[in-house]
Structures are given as C-alpha cells and as structure tokens.
Structure 1
Amino acid sequence: MQPRALIVDDEAPAREELRFLLEQIGTVQVVGEATNGEEALLLLDSLDYDLVLLDIRMPGLSGLELAGRLAEKPHRPRVIFTTAYPDHAVEAFDLAAADYLVKPFDAERLRRAVERALAAGEPAAAEADGAASPAPPPSRPRVAEPDPLVRIPVQKDGRTVLVAGDAIIYAAAARGYSSLMLAEEHALVSFSLNELERRLHGHFQRVHRSYLVNLRHVRELVTDVRGQLVLVMNDRRRSRVEVARRHAKELRRRLGV
C-alpha cells in the first residue's frame, strides 16, 4: 500500500496544485485535505498518515504549532512545509521537518522532498565533511562561463526577486534549501546546492559538500590552526568558508596559486 499523505493549506488552489503534483509523482496517495490546523488534527486523530504537507501561515493554529503537536503522536508522520515565506525555515527544521519548500516549486523538487521524507534512516545532510560516509564524486570540470543573464529567484515579502549570479558571494547548504550570501544580506532559496551548481557554473566552484563559492569574490586563502584551507571572501563581513581537502588542489589551480 502506498504511503498516505495529508495536505494542509487554507487556500484551495494551493491544495489542488499540491494534489496534482503528487498525482504526477505517484509516490504517495493523498487521502486527506484540511483547510487549517484544527481540521488537520481531527483527521490525524482518525487515521495514521505517513506524510503531512503543511502550510505555515493559516488562520488559527499555524503550521509550526501543528508540527509541534505532531511530535506528541505515537505514529508521527513526516512533515514537509510548503509555504510562500522562506523566513521560517530555521524554526521548521528545529521541529525536525523533512523538507521546506518555498512556493512556487515543481514536481521534480517535490518528488525529491517526498523521497527524502519517506526514506528511513537516511544520514543527515549536514554530516561533517570527511566522515565515514562515501564521498561524493569529484566536481565535473566547468566548460563555459555563466550566461550573464543567469538569475536566481528569491521569495521576499510575497514577491519574487531575481538575484544576479554575480551578486552571490557564496551559497551554503542546509536540509532541503540553500542560503545565498549576498553583500549585505542572505536569502533562502528552495534549490539544493547541486541545483545551484548547475545553474551557476563558470566562475563558481564547489569547495565543500556544504559550500558553493563565487571565485570572483575570493579575497584571501588562509590556513587555520588545524591546517585546513579557508577562503576569506570580499563581502563586508569578510566571511570565511572552509575548503574540503579533496577540493583544495582544483581550487588552487583555478585561482592560479
């Protein structure tokens, strides 16, 4: 039997779109919909769900409050937050969310989130570099400079802001989303670091499983007390980005040092 999913969103078009995308994916069966947190609790008390796709800002009980209640249930479903607001990601992952999707997203992004949520015993995405888990394959060589029109869509205050690739100092990975470090601020996006790497080729390079760096914004290369190579970026904060040993040789070659 397919895993059972519950959609919780106060907007009917959003519920319809989620159901449509989930039917395209075919991984789970949608057996319930709720328009607010209170309705969702009633459904969750009457049936064991494997997955809850949960909006955050709803009348009454918020999605974050509902997720906190789910932690008390004997059969705790996995939670994927689906929201138009990226500014609750940290709170969501504090509640052990499986993923955090910022609208709009497509079927492929949702499919990966569902697979991650349903996978049992999957190692944490923030696993320390150099741990015993298999290392990812080496980065593919870049063959072209990025199109100067490359833009990364960022959801901000209900608007979609297009951030130019060259404005990105570096990107950092987290579970289910990435943080773009800009000159004056940072922004959350629903793209994985691998997706950003495909979009931001050319003078961007993966220097760690958790970091993608714009080589044009590297100010210094220093070595810390452990002998680890660290990049000092040219933003106002002089951000420091650790370089994994397996990426150091290629990085030095590309920087000409």
Structure 2
Amino acid sequence: MRAIIVEDEVPAREELEYLVEAYSEIEVTHFFDDGLDVLKFLQEHETDVIFLDINIPSLNGMLLASTISKFTKRPYIVFTTAYKEHAAQAFELEAFDYILKPYDEKRIAGMLSRLESAFKRDHVEITLPNRNLKSHLNSQGQQSEIPTQASNRINLKKNDKIIVTDANDIYYAIANEKVTLVYTKKEEYTMPMSITEFDSLLPENLFFRCHRSYTVNLTKILEIVPWFNQTYMLRLKDLTEEIPVSRSKVKAFRQIMHL
C-alpha cells in the first residue's frame, strides 16, 4: 500500500511516519502541509491511503476529503486531528477512521492492521486469479513455468539500455518520487518502480530495507556510526554516501548485524 501524510506540524508528521513504519508494511511516499498541493498531486498520481489532518492551510481537511469522496477511485482516508467535533462529518464522508491527537500507539497499531486487512479484502478480485493460476500449475507439476526471483541477476536501466547486473554489485537504492535510483560502485541507474517493488527483486540474504527510502547491500557496509535517537548512519565501501537506519528498523538491523 502507498500512503501520503498531510500534516503541517513537523513533530506530529514525524511521529505518525514512525508509527506507520513500525506497525505496517504501508509505504509513505509523500508529505504535504497544504490542502491545495494534495489536490494537485492527486490529479496526476494515485495513492491508496491518505492520513489527513483537518486544520491545514489553503483547503482544510474536511473540504479536501469532500472533494476526494467524489473521485471514481477513492483512497482510504484516515483523519488525524486534535478536534473531536468533526468526527460525525468525517464518517458521513465515509472516512476509514478518525484518530485524535496526541497519538495513542496501540490505537494507531490497531487502525493500521484493520487498514491493511481492508485493502487486501477490497483487492481480492485483483489478486485471486493469479493465486488460483499458481495453485493450478503447482497441482499440475508446472511450477517452473512461473518466473521466480531465485536469480541474482538484476536488469537495471540506463539511457534506454538494459544492463544485466549481478545483485551484489548494487550498493544501495533510494526512493525518488515514482522511481528508484540504484547505485553501483561507478554508476547510477533509474528504475521506473517504487522502492518496495525494486526491493522485492533483490536477494533477501544480501539486502536490507533500512529506511522507508533506502535499501542497502549488507556486504558493502564499512562502518556503522551511532546516530541520534539510538539510530545509525552507514558508511559504505568505495562510496561517500551515508545511509540512514530509521528508528523503526533499528531492532531488526541489530539482529542481522549481531550488534
């Protein structure tokens, strides 16, 4: 699932981002602090869920939600606000949930679980045929006809060319709007997919999603530098770029690296 957060208070935005990362597989792709900017974005892009504050500039959250409710394909809307009095109006607009600030961690975790379940349920008609096909081929002994990700060869794109690359030659990848930037020792490639999609192509034993915007090759880590809030910055062999480990990924990273 892809999400955007609409919030004009930085601490509240960062806390919500952390909770979404910690308790779900939802990918937060963009942040906004102005209602009109959200509307412009949605005219050209699709998202699955909007975490929406009510008291925002230009176009408040209620007016924005009312406009979105008229869309043919509507994202889930979760209101995040300090104001109780708008709850009835929110549910008239068929909002998925109405979360009050300050955030309650258990409340957020429960909402995110229900949100992911609802998304799977609402998209079952899209995914079911593929599952049935795979099940049928398995029963017929034809599983090998379905492509797998067993190969460590990755097709990277540069200047309209496809460069077949050994996965271990990839140092890290960064989410950048609707594409993913992939870096080897000497080259930069642009992949026309989200970082979540690109991450699924990589060998799990080599790569770790250390941040919502970063995936890193564990074998390329040269130095692990303690950072604020008990997080880390990673320095890589051969490169000057430093890769952050987000707060929600620290526990898993320590286990993998035996820290």
Q: TM-score, normalization: structure 1?
A: 0.44
Q: TM-score, normalization: structure 2?
A: 0.44
- Structure number with the higher helix fraction is 2
